[in-house]
Chain A
Amino acid sequence: MSSPEQNPAFESTEVGRIDSSLRSTGVVFSISSALWLVFASFTGFLAYLQLAVPSMLEKVPFLTYGFLKPVADTALTHGWVTNAAFALIVWIMSRLSERAPDFDIRRYLLVPAGVVYNFMLTFGILAIFRGEARPFFLLEIPSKVMLSCSMAFSLITVWTILDYCRRKRRTAYISQFYILGAVFWLAWTFSITHLILGKVPINGVIQAVTASWFAHAYLWCWMVPVGCAVAYYLLPKLTGQPIRNYKLAFVCFWLLAFIGIWGGPSALVGGPVPQWIQNYGVIGSLLLAVPALGIAMNLLVTQAYAKQQPLETSSGSLYSLCSSPSGRFMGIGLLFLPLFGILTSTSAHPDHKETFQFTFWQEGIFYLGVYGFFTMVALAGFYFMMPRLTGREWPCASTMKFHFVSVFVGLLIILLGLFWGGFAHADAMANLDRDYTYISFITWAPVLFASSGFFLVAIGQIAFLIHLMSLIFAFPHSCFVGKEGPTFLAPEIDERSNA
């Protein structure tokens, strides 16, 4: 399997035909998402480094923290998360509708959508560097640029619905529910929010309410559902076990659907917005722990069950957290979902907000969700998907190990730095005996620590990007000597084989 030639046996199956028809889409979205992740991690590194060494780049104002932080966050979410989600959504949706396309609509709908989206996003990032950033978290890109992005979202939403409607089986998979929900939620919240902030003349705090609503919805109604769809789809294939409780999976979907979108205004607790809006936000965030724990429990129990009863195949145990690259990332990513839910939920409580609002603590929660949960699960998806789309094996096992170690260790360092910094920040802020500059002094070490984590992630991602390129373009190199390829698994197990 170490040869870069394509696998003709796989090509001839129905699944193989579906996969190979998605090659162009997969290439566009996977390469662009990997590029954005490298860019986001590197700018994140530079941004946090400057909190520790503020005078470093002061001669170049557009590389100071105030410019780089929104660039890093935008590239991480709208660049990496959204592109990776598109790549995985299209693949999972096609697989689950079980039809190879008669007329390849994807090539004419999705590839242009992807190109337009990434082009506009680049334009938006340049606009931030030019000083046109908008002052709202995750909405920093100017509205006029982003409204054209929502056209790309609409194309992908339309394709997703079309693909769902022509599915072979009349029953639905849980992954399809998550994907359909997610594309709707993103397209709607995104267009509505940008219309309000960019076109409708609404002044004052309503803008802040809308922006906080969107930032929360982006994480919990787009990023998390896509992560869940990938996990629900991949975990049975990786473990050889069906999802333990398929009914609970649907219950949790509707819980997340009705709870997930409310929690935004909890970011404004204590601020200048009417109390009832804050209350909705706090309650919405507090309840979020329920679906998050439900989903995580269902997936983690499935994973644990597989460890007790490993499915024996000709090539040994099908699932192993250590040997399968997908399994490694998935196993770690799933652990962060309940953490993300619990931290989002507890940090919304007014007592907690009183101390930790406006500190690095909330940055820590954001990066825990994006890097910890989504990035890990999406990378698991990439490691599983890309060989099947291209029909080739990953060329290098040690690169994969290096990627995993650097991303995982980098993630831990980021989280440790930011949560430590959050504690120190909150403590120093409440200490009235100290001048406010004491905060810069006390958070110096944590911030420097966190920035080194971003650097590690960036290095790992560069390795991944090179690896991905050599897979897609079949660079003639290989470090697999006498080893079996890690990802091609003969039988693929359905997520509800016994449901």
Chain B
Amino acid sequence: MSSRFPVFFILVFATVALPWGILIFKAEEQLVSLRPSTSKLEYYYVDKDGNEYDSADAANGLTKVSRNETGSPQFPIWRGGNALRGKYIYESYGCIQCHTQQVRQKDFGVDIARKWGGRQSVARDYLFDSPVLLGRMRIGPDLANVGNRLDAQALHKHIYRPVAVSAMPGYPSLYSVIETRGDGSHTALHFESGEYGAPRAGWEVVPKQDANDLVDYLLSLKQDYELPEARVVKAGESGGGSVATEEDEFAGNKVLSKGKKLYNTPGACVTCHQADGQGNEIAKFPPLAGSDWVSGSEDVIVRVVLNGLQGPIKVNGKDYGTVLMAPTIWVGWPDEDIAAVISYVRNAWGNKSPEVSAETVKRIRGEIGTRTTPWTAQELEAFKK
């Protein structure tokens, strides 16, 4: 039994240095290059000297390299503002002691069967999280996709007063119960009379700033996008398969089907208004589905698309603040494309309005003239017939 200290010291050092170097340093080396990504990867080929080729047959001895497809939207989305502050509330209230934020693979546990997520969580989903909140206990359900499952009202009610059988304590200190004055506070929780947790008549429950931020954070928990390494699992598939192509409901109409393609171009409308036309309430991107701005006069919508729109703006009665929409990649699109995408928006997601022709777009371009600044809501009121 060697008692020589240097030998002992070197061996003990090795017991720490090996796992350190292999587990943590190598993991960091592998994952540090992860960047936000669109849902596809591009491949290109390089030779020994570092020259890039588009095809494998261009030269001998090429190595295949992948890079993120350029464009947008890129995921995961950086979390800021109230949602970021809500994350601190989540940490300090110890939510992580009972809730995980990770969906395991389809054939590993019941995570996907319990509809906690459409796909497995991967390292890229947590790119911007510091500290990362994976969690190690599921006394309550997984929250990786809670923003898809519940709306703000349901979350507030659950935090204020969870259902009776739950092991979760309520956090009434995050809410004020105050007497209703006049029409009441517009942020007060909506309780049906006699609903569990409802305050007595004439009183209302108003979330404090911490509660609002926490709910904003919870609503931002969505892994509903696809990444190159993580596809949404469809029924009957095992593991992460490929994306099933969606049926094109406008297959018969050339203009609308072209408009749908343009709408979903990365960087175009879909970036903010989303593929389902619902917008993003947290980021204050207004919905297009059912919007009176979209379905109303074509003079309004064409102007908005061509020059952009500066808030404040109300859509369907909801305030979207001083949001700014500015034309980006569609600035140089021909009138036919602008017309197609507007026609698509006016006919998708239950909207039913006449299509817009390229001639109309041309006419309005002429009327706008050299103006490049975005319109305000008040200016546009004049064009609402």
Distance between Cα atoms of A133 and B95 in the complex (Å):
11
Distance between Cα atoms of A444 and B18 in the complex (Å):
43
Contact partner, A180, options B8, B20, B113, B166, Cβ 8 Å: B8
Report whether B28 and A429 are in contact in the complex, using a CB–CB cutoff of 8 Å: no
- Closest chain-A Cβ to B342's Cβ sits at a distance in Å of 40
Interface majority SS (helix, strand, loop, mixed), chain B: loop
Instruction: Say if the beta carbon of A362 comes within 8 Å of chain B.
Output: yes
**With a CB–CB cut-off of 8 A, which chain A residues contact B120?**
272
A137 and chain B: residue at smallest CB distance: B136
Interface hit among B124-132, B187-195, B368-376: B124-132
Report whether B126 and A272 are in contact in the complex, using a CB–CB cutoff of 8 Å: yes
Total A-B contacts with CB atoms under 8 angstroms apart: 219
Interface hit among B104-112, B200-208, B303-311, B348-356: B104-112
Distance between Cα atoms of A137 and B140 in the complex (Å):
17
- Closest chain-B Cβ to A485's Cβ sits at a distance in Å of 36
Interface residues in B316-331 (C-beta closer than 8 Å to A): none
Known: A189-B16, A204-B127. A270 touches B108 (CB 8 A): yes
Distance between Cα atoms of A101 and B78 in the complex (Å):
59
Instruction: Say if the beta carbon of A436 comes within 8 Å of chain B.
Output: yes
Distance between Cα atoms of A257 and B15 in the complex (Å):
6
Contact partner, B123, options A250, A272, A284, Cβ 8 Å: A272
A56 and chain B: residue at smallest CB distance: B169
Report whether A58 and B171 are in contact in the complex, using a CB–CB cutoff of 8 Å: yes
Distance between Cα atoms of A208 and B15 in the complex (Å):
21
Report whether B22 and A271 are in contact in the complex, using a CB–CB cutoff of 8 Å: no
State how many residues of chain B have any CB contact under 8 Å with chain A: 73
Contact partner, B27, options A177, A270, A274, A443, Cβ 8 Å: A274
State how many residues of chain A have any CB contact under 8 Å with chain B: 93
Report whether A359 and B19 are in contact in the complex, using a CB–CB cutoff of 8 Å: no
Known: A135-B135, A261-B19, A432-B113. A69 touches B130 (CB 8 A): no
**With a CB–CB cut-off of 8 A, which chain B residues contact A210?**
24
Report whether B28 and A202 are in contact in the complex, using a CB–CB cutoff of 8 Å: yes
Distance between Cα atoms of A328 and B90 in the complex (Å):
44
Report whether A171 and B27 are in contact in the complex, using a CB–CB cutoff of 8 Å: no
Report whether B167 and A134 are in contact in the complex, using a CB–CB cutoff of 8 Å: no
**With a CB–CB cut-off of 8 A, which chain A residues contact B168?**
54, 440
- Closest chain-A Cβ to B170's Cβ sits at a distance in Å of 5
Q: Which 3 A-B pairs have the closest CB atoms?
A: A66-B94, A131-B92, A172-B3
A interface vs B, CB < 8 Å?
50-52, 54-59, 61, 64-67, 69-70, 130-137, 161, 164-165, 170-172, 177, 180-181, 184-185, 188-189, 192, 196-197, 201-210, 213, 221, 247, 250, 254, 257-258, 260-262, 264-265, 267-268, 270-274, 277, 280, 284, 350, 354-355, 357-359, 362-363, 425, 429-430, 432, 436-441, 443-444, 447
Q: What are 8 A-B pairs with beta-carbon distances under 8 A? A: A50-B169, A58-B171, A66-B93, A257-B15, A258-B15, A272-B122, A358-B135, A441-B165
